Structure 1
Amino acid sequence: MAEETVGKYKLHLIAFQTSAAGKWAPYLMIERFDDARGDFVCVREKERVAGEALFDSEEEAEEVARQHGNALLKSGGI
């Protein structure tokens, strides 16, 4: 699992190894820093991204999750 901070948002980039020949599935969870609480709050629960696509490495799966998370932030989908 990797984390990336973008402004007030924290992207949790999760790669889960499946039993399908050791392939990796990308997941994403997003938190936003809440000034009033002084802590991060979840704004998007952990979910699988990229449909049913599987990747050869953990790094590839995390990169897909990163791209998906950044696209959501850019589009205002959060």
Structure 2
Amino acid sequence: MQMMYNSPNYCVVAFPAQEDSAALSEGGYEIVAKNLKRGLFIHGPMAAHFQKSVQKLVKQPPDFAEMDAFLGQFDDWMTHPLVLH
């Protein structure tokens, strides 16, 4: 796993593809909203779409506010409470 982004409000960790795991056969991303104390794991087509969107966003280095606003779009989907972060 590799931390891709870490701000006071959000953290994004990339998980590489793993042949021995059906859920991670294509890799995935964990997105954590620190202020909400909830997270989301995405994989498959949603992870591919997320990756393309992030690549477009970082063509010109965004600041924390821009990146946090982008990640804020996922807040409603974050249903997993944080236990150890």
Give the TM-score, by structure 2 length.
Answer: 0.42
Query: Which structure shows the higher helix fraction?
Result: 2
Q: Which one has the bigger strand percentage?
A: 1
Given the two structures, how large is their TM-score scaled by the length of structure 1?
A: 0.45
